Amino acid sequence: MLLAPIWIVLLTLFHLQMAKSDTPPNEQYPNLMNGFTILTGASWLILAWLPSGLTGMMAVNGVYSLFQTALLRVPAFRNAVGLAPLVKYKPRPFMQSVREWQGGLSRRWSASIEETKAKPRSRF
C-alpha cells in the first residue's frame, strides 16, 4: 500500500512548514530546513518498503505530533499550562535562503583568498 508513505511524507512536510514560523532566525537554519524538506521527499522511497504496521504507526505518530504542535501554538492553551507566549518569526522563502547561503560561501571564499595572499611565502 503506497498511500500510507505518501500520507507520512505530507504530514512531515506540513509539520516542517508549521515549525518554520516558530523558530528564531539563524544563519544555518534555512539550510537545515531545506535539507529536511528534500530528505523528507526522498524518504518516500524508503517508506514504501516498510511493513504496513510500521507505516501505520508512523502515520498515527505524525497526526499526533501535528495535533500537539497546533495545540501548543494556541495562546490560551499555552497560558493555561504555564508556557511563555510564542514569538512570531517570518520564514524566508526557499530560494532566498539558498541565495544567502551561496553569498556567505562566496564571502568566506574571498576572505580566505585575501588571507592567503597577505601571508608571506616561505621558500622551504
Q: Model's pTM, two decimal places?
A: 0.56
Here the cell at position 92 is 524566508
Q: What is the pLDDT of residues 79-111, one digit of tens each?
A: 999 988 877 766 667 677 667 766 766 777 777
Q: Are 9 and 41 in contact (CB under 8 A)?
A: yes
Taken as a whole, the chain contains a residue count of: 124
For residue 14, what pLDDT band results from cuts at 50, 70 and 90?
A: confident
12 burial (CB, 10 Å; 0-12 / 13-18 / 19+) is: buried
DSSP annotation string for the chain: --HHHHHHHHHHHHHHHHHHTTS---SSHHHHHHHHHHHHHHHHHHHTTS-HHHHHHHHHHHHHHHHHHHHHT-HHHHHHTTPPPPPP-PPPPHHHHHHHHHHHHHHHHHHHHHHHHHSPPP--
